[in-house]
Structure 1
Amino acid sequence: MMNRLFRREYELECIAPLHVGSGEKLMAFEYLYDRKRQEVYFLDESKWIAFLEKRSLLDDFAVYVERREFQRKSLWEWFLGMGVREAELRALALRKAHAATLTAERDRKKTLNDIVCQAALADGAPYIPGSAIKGAMRTGLLYGIIGREPQRFQRFWQEIVNAARGPLREKQKMWSKTMARLEQEALHTLSLPNTRAGDAVMSALRGLRVSDAVCAEGEKETIVLQKVDLTTKKKQGEDGENKISLFRECLPAGRRLRFSVTADRSMLQSLGISSLDEIIGMMRAYMNDGLRLQERTFGDKAYRPLFEEAREAECLLGGGTGFLSKTLVHALAPSKEAARHFIARHLDEKFTKRDRATGRRRPAHDHELLDAKLSPRTLKLACEDYDEWILGLCRIREVGR
């Protein structure tokens, strides 16, 4: 008799830098930046407090923060000025990150930026939560199931379109309810006694457990990258690559992590899935659908190598990867043009600004006016020194194959 439960080990390789946020954002006085080495040091909180007490610097540090001296002098420079040695400062770090982009930004602004932190374990080692990987699998599954039987899910698109009236908040509530029912239709395939429609225990995803993806022991170093959007917007100073004042800590390209998937064969079969390879294939198909749309817009000679590299990936993971890596609108819409029009209209309603002349609110980015080929009209890039990637690209391979 075939065992219901089976387990597979996988290696995830970051083809491009990858950011999965911890929810923590550090201000300039909460990390150390060695401008000479272009390195950020993320502090061990217990060592940090003990160090300040031991060196009798708590009061001086409080004044440094209260007077906002960090706007003209980095914390690293301030400590050196207080007679602290560089080696002492490095000993306070949980991990360090290469941060060449911070040097360029500081030269421009004469100050440091906040950094959005990568998810990390208690010892400072960065990792990818299993929930992030399972979330990508869930989206890929939904994409694949909708693609197999588009007529079955056509009514959900009609509900989404028909709800496009009234206040945005009410529409979003209706859309959330529609997507929840779509997920029930696609994934709630288990027949269990004493359960009601919509009960989460009926979801076949209960049969899929994904561990956290962890780096090899001792691999703690990360990179800090500035948010870069490639856009088609034809307005002076805004076409091409736009550098935005947001800095993320990322896993570097080339980093490998291990994770495992434990699956219940019978639950997967209730979805018409016979192997984990099928799920990974659906993730890949979903990613490729979004990238094909972007390649038609951005795949000219200059950026063609980025899309060629993307063909080696199985999925886009993490934050900052763009709207098309998180939405099922293109899977549900009857045409690419219908999807583009819906997304542009929604984004114009969601992101507004006040017009100085009239005092009324108007679209902040003019998606309906300017998104002629693709909405949103951006490709999310990761840039470090002379290297460029499409942010979040990952390769997944079963260990032992």
Structure 2
Amino acid sequence: MLKENGHIQAQELEIKVITPTHVGNGALLNKHDYLYSPQKHRVYFLHEGKWFTWLEGSHLLEEYITFLQSSRAKTTSTTKWLAWQNLGVEKSLDYFTQVSYSHMNANENLNNDLRIMERTVSWGPYIPGSTLKGMLRTALLHCAIKRDTQCAKNLRHKLTDSVLKEKRFKFPESEWFKENEPDVNGLMRAIRWSDAVGTDLETASCQKYEFPLNQRKERKTLPIYYECLVPNSRLRTTLSLDMSELERVREQSKQLLPITGVDDLLSYLLEYHKDINSLLEEEFSCSWREIFRFQHETNAYIGANIGFLQKTNLLAMAGTSREWLYKTAKNILPHKMGKTVIKRNSDKINPANLKGTMYAGKPCMMGGISIRKV
């Protein structure tokens, strides 16, 4: 529902998760912070206070501390240590844990760090408004540069110089943006996006996969696990636009993107998303057609393991010129992703791997969501 209060325009939105989506804050659970039940195929986060109380009541506290201080703890999980005690703790799991979620690789003995979702104080997973706003900023930058060829050319030179001189990928400074690009940062001051929250949201751990462009190579599994919102999860959020601030930005800066309301912001987000899928499907659909089966349901990507270079910085600046994208990537990717193979074919770029996961036994990209007005 669109609400207008003075100069503020606010649109309530629903976010539907289409493919597993991880939005975290860098927090990790190591193999001693959780328990894994192979019988239930679930991961349990330990409640520290209840866990140590239970250990003390079971006369295992000193033995557990000794285990943690030993060299075995480096390679052995708390789950395995607990199994050695033959206590049959399956029935007690809900007592000394605070939250649990399913583990998608049920046949695997989980013994790795887990990247957990951003969570509220009540431990409910959510998507921060700052993450949503950053996703929108990337889309607006993409659409603005797409309409300004000189800006795109200047930016490519700036990026290339940064990589060649410093031997690393460095996004241009905000001061350079103010002098050379549409004032996207100024525009963002007129936009507010609230945290996206839901009720009874379920999560699952998903392993990171790489799907190579080369059809003769097999998909590659990596020992990286993400706690993800599962498909069909629904969250609510509000996107607001300060019309008076927007007018001030128009008057004081170079503004290539006509914006009259929230609908325009959503349309630019969709345009960016279509450009992403156009490039990736063209390059990867022959090798991994199945991975794109859900993409017609999505209108945005968000979160981790969605291909930083492919779907964020590079594509935000690529516009529609494959030649431009190729020249930029040719100088950046070898420094950023050492073994990445860049090939040129009719002015197209071929990233070596597509990031994703396996869900319900099938490959899919991560972070695919659908945003709609309610």
Identify the residue that residue 89 of structure 1 maps to in structure 2.
93
* Aligned-partner Cα distance in 1 for 2:179–2:61: 55
1:37-69, CA deviations, whole angstroms, 9 ceiling, x for partnerless residues?
111011223333433344443322222223354
* Aligned-partner Cα distance in 2 for 1:184–1:37: 57
SS of 2:356 mapped into structure 1: strand
SS of 1:280 mapped into structure 2: helix
Matched, 1:321 2:312: no
The within-5 A match list for 1:17-166 is 17-69=20-72, 74-82=77-85, 83=87, 85-101=89-105, 103-106=106-109, 112-163=111-162, 165-166=164-165
Identify the residue that residue 282 of structure 2 maps to in structure 1.
296
* Aligned-partner Cα distance in 2 for 1:306–1:330: 22
* Aligned-partner Cα distance in 2 for 1:375–1:63: 51
The within-5 A match list for 1:204-215 is 204-215=187-198
* Aligned-partner Cα distance in 1 for 2:84–2:161: 64
SS of 2:226 mapped into structure 1: strand
* Aligned-partner Cα distance in 2 for 1:260–1:53: 47
Identify the residue that residue 381 of structure 1 maps to in structure 2.
356
1:232-255, CA deviations, whole angstroms, 9 ceiling, x for partnerless residues?
2477xxx24211111111111111
The within-5 A match list for 1:159-308 is 159-163=158-162, 165-169=164-168, 172=169, 175-177=171-173, 181-182=176-177, 186=181, 188=183, 203-216=186-199, 218-219=200-201, 221-233=202-214, 239-269=217-247, 270=250, 271=255, 272-300=258-286, 303-308=288-293
Whether the 8 Å contact between 1:128 and 1:213 is mirrored in structure 2 is yes
Superposed displacement of residue 214, structure 1 = 1.0
1:366-400, CA deviations, whole angstroms, 9 ceiling, x for partnerless residues?
44699x9534222222212323322110000112x
Instruction: Give the aligned length.
Output: 361
For structure 1, the residue ranges without an aligned partner over 5 or more in a row are 190-199, 353-363
Superposed displacement of residue 104, structure 1 = 3.5
TM-score, length-normalised on structure 1? 0.80
* Aligned-partner Cα distance in 2 for 1:214–1:2: 23
Amino acid at match of 1:142: L
The within-5 A match list for 1:2-17 is 3-17=6-20
Whether the 8 Å contact between 1:7 and 1:261 is mirrored in structure 2 is yes
SS of 1:23 mapped into structure 2: coil
Whether the 8 Å contact between 2:207 and 2:358 is mirrored in structure 1 is yes
| Aligned Cα root-mean-square deviation (Å) | 3.0
* Aligned-partner Cα distance in 1 for 2:349–2:73: 41
SS of 1:166 mapped into structure 2: helix
Whether the 8 Å contact between 2:8 and 2:243 is mirrored in structure 1 is yes
SS of 2:124 mapped into structure 1: coil
Whether the 8 Å contact between 1:343 and 1:375 is mirrored in structure 2 is no
Instruction: Go from structure 1 to structure 2 and tell me whether the alpha carbon gap of 1:159 and 1:79 turns closer, same or farther (over 3 Å shift).
Output: closer
Instruction: Go from structure 1 to structure 2 and tell me whether the alpha carbon gap of 1:180 and 1:296 turns closer, same or farther (over 3 Å shift).
Output: farther
* Aligned-partner Cα distance in 2 for 1:28–1:385: 24
Whether the 8 Å contact between 1:341 and 1:368 is mirrored in structure 2 is no
TM-score, length-normalised on structure 2? 0.85
Identify which range, 40-49 or 160-169, moves more after superposition.
160-169
* Aligned-partner Cα distance in 2 for 1:187–1:315: 22
Whether the 8 Å contact between 1:142 and 1:183 is mirrored in structure 2 is no
* Aligned-partner Cα distance in 1 for 2:71–2:351: 38
Superposed displacement of residue 28, structure 1 = 1.3
* Aligned-partner Cα distance in 1 for 2:277–2:341: 23
Identify the residue that residue 336 of structure 1 maps to in structure 2.
322
Identify which range, 304-313 or 390-399, moves more after superposition.
304-313
Whether the 8 Å contact between 2:341 and 2:352 is mirrored in structure 1 is no
Superposed displacement of residue 80, structure 1 = 4.8
* Aligned-partner Cα distance in 2 for 1:151–1:130: 32
Amino acid at match of 1:205: M
Q: Percent identity of the aligned residues?
A: 25
Whether the 8 Å contact between 1:343 and 1:376 is mirrored in structure 2 is no
* Aligned-partner Cα distance in 2 for 1:76–1:162: 50
